[in-house]
Amino acid sequence: MIMKQSRYLMRLLCGIVLFAGVAYAAEPAEVEKFVNARIEIGEMMTNYFKGGAGYGGGQRPSQEHMQQMGADINAKLTALLAKHDLTLDEYRKRSPEVFADDAAVKHYLSEHPDLKQRYEALPLDRMGRGGSTGRGY
């Protein structure tokens, strides 16, 4: 009796795990939208901070300057994401789920070598890849 219950429970748990994996699989159109947005965001952020210019010449910015930079970056992100029919909140909420489908992301990038090259050139520590502690844009 206990053996039957254990088997039933294991099958039920496996079914739930498999169903959850299928439910979170990203749609190809979503993958395209989010990958393209991530590439553009990464390039924008790289250019924004290139040479410490975003920090005011390499010095640590004041608290007021940090707030201004944050507002400026959020405005730029909002405009960039609008081109992809996304909001900043939606992107931040959904991107971990979309990018968790590594196979779908790799498949999309393999079909677009130019985008793959740009994607791979992004800094790993700020783009939510490689154990990032950054914001994960």
In order, the DSSP letters of the chain are -HHHHHHHHHHHHHHHHHHHHHHTPPPHHHHHHHHHHHHHHHHHHHHHHGGGGGGTSSSPPPHHHHHHHHHHHHHHHHHHHHTTT--HHHHHHHHHHHHH-HHHHHHHHHH-HHHHHHHHTS-TTTTT-SS--S---
**pLDDT recorded at residue 1:** 53
**pLDDT recorded at residue 133:** 35
**pLDDT recorded at residue 101:** 94
pTM of structure: 0.69
Amino acid code (one letter) for 91: Y
Residue entry with tokens 């410490």: 52
**pLDDT recorded at residue 54:** 52
Query: pLDDT under 50 in the chain at which residues?
Result: 6, 18-23, 126-127, 129-137
